[in-house]
Amino acid sequence: MTATATLSSKFQISIPKAVREEQHWEAGQEFVFIPKGKGVLVMPVPELNQLAGIAKGACKDDYRDRKDRF
């Protein structure tokens, strides 16, 4: 899918309807912008309940606590 948008004088971009519908994005949803070279990755900020179990099975060896930091 190819979709374009224009940056307004207020530095706003409207996300094309086809993209919003495909990604199931809703008004009021919060997003994070991650710089990638000459572009940017736009991702919705996950809700806390979506993160449950994300680290299941992760190795706990060599875990660094805040006390380990300088």
pTM exceeds cut of 0.75:
no
Task: Report how far residue 3's alpha carbon sits from residue 10's, in angstroms, rounded to the nearest whole number.
Answer: 21
* Domain spans of the chain, in order of start: 15-48
Please tell me the predicted confidence (pLDDT) of residue 1: 61
In tens, the pLDDT along 10-68 reads 999 999 999 999 999 999 999 999 999 999 999 999 887 877 788 787 777 777 777 76
Please tell me the predicted confidence (pLDDT) of residue 28: 94
Please tell me the predicted confidence (pLDDT) of residue 7: 94
CA distances from 55 to 13, 52, 60, 63 (A): 34, 8, 10, 13
Please tell me the predicted confidence (pLDDT) of residue 51: 79
How many helices (DSSP H) and strands (DSSP E) are in the chain? Answer: 1, 2
Question: In one letter, which amino acid is 4?
Answer: T
- Structural contact between residues 7 and 13, judged by C-beta atoms closer than 8 angstroms: yes
Please tell me the predicted confidence (pLDDT) of residue 22: 94
